[in-house]
Amino acid sequence: MEFTELEAEILVNAWLLAREGRGQVVEPWAPPEAVRLSEAGWLERKMLDNGDAFWFWTAEAETALDMNALTQSASGRQN
């Protein structure tokens, strides 16, 4: 999946906040990007009682990064 600059920024922020168990509120003009990332499995939206949406890094996103790291570390190896 190719990411726009804004999507990449949202993902990096979500990844960093996930280390503390936190989510993020994106700027009012950014929700279409956050929705696209959610539909692709990178983010999960949770709504608060006041109507604010928080976006959280998903376990699937973490797995995708782990798989990528494994693939990158194995490239060039021959069995």
Look up residue 32 and give its amino acid. P
Residue 20 DSSP class:
T
Cα separation, 60 vs 57, whole angstroms: 8
Domain ranges of the chain: 5-74
The 10s digit of each residue's pLDDT in 49-69 is 888 889 999 999 888 877 877
Q: Specify the pLDDT at position 40.
A: 94
Return the CATH number of the domain spanning residue range 5-74: 1.10.10
Q: Which residues sit opposite 57 in a β-bridge?
A: 43
Which residue's entry shows tokens 């797995």? 63
Q: Specify the pLDDT at position 24.
A: 92
The pTM assigned to this predicted structure is 0.77
